[in-house]
Amino acid sequence: MGRASGVNLSGGETEALARKAARGAGLPWGLAEEAGMAARWLAERGLPGAATLAALLTEIDGAGPLPPVPGETWRAKHDRLCPICCGAALSDRLETGPLTVLDVLHPLLMLPHLASVADRTGRPVTIRWPGGGAILSRTPSLHGAPPPARGDIRILPARAPGPWPRAPRTPEPVAPAAVDILNAFAHRTYAPAHLGREGGAGAGLTDSD
């Protein structure tokens, strides 16, 4: 792997690093696991899951979960919405639309959850953002402008059949800067080397995976 061309991570490595990084940024374990799975799903379909998660964690560092206020339109209780929280909520909502989600960060990270909903319901799902969107079944079919870093989205049943599912492929190399960010967050989950078992190793955010 080279610094210029990017860092090659397997799907499993992407998921493990993303999960620990999300935990290090303050997300509870359940959402950290969702973040890891989302990053891997995107990476294995040629999309920048790890880099997008790195950008998200940088923005929400220490804020904890940012879940939506439920209703016909999902909105933030205070400031903005976390796409991992929204995606996890969508996974529990079999009726996928129409639904408007306001002011969500990095909606690309919601695509894996929407694909899961489509798979469970047997109905493709459409997500739209300004200038573009995607149709999802088990794999994304994107069109138009890429997802924004922050904005409003619309979710509704697809009017056309979803794309035929493709087998996961080797993820594209990840930008070294994104890997550095994820590693920095993940490092917070490790016990300091000078602590013994009596000194607290294994407590708090410590991860023994």
Q: What's the CA gap between 193 and 205, in Å, rounded?
A: 14
Please tell me the predicted confidence (pLDDT) of residue 78: 78
| Interval 39-93: pLDDT, tens | 999 999 999 999 999 999 999 998 888 888 888 899 998 789 999 999 988 876 6
Strand, helix or coil at 68? strand
Reply yes or no on whether the pLDDT at 187 is more than 70: yes
Strand, helix or coil at 53? helix
Closest among 160, 142, 178 to 48, alpha carbons compared: 178
What distances in angstroms separate CA 132 from CA 129, 143, 195, one per listed residue?
5, 6, 50
| Interval 91-108: pLDDT, tens | 766 565 689 999 999 999
Please tell me the predicted confidence (pLDDT) of residue 67: 87
pTM to 2 decimals? 0.85
Cβ-based neighbour number of residue 28 at 10 Å: 12
Beta strand 150-157 with 99-105 is antiparallel
Residues 6+ apart with CB under 8 A from 201: 191, 192, 195
Q: What's the CA gap between 201 and 209, in Å, rounded?
A: 13
Structure tokens at 32: 């950290």
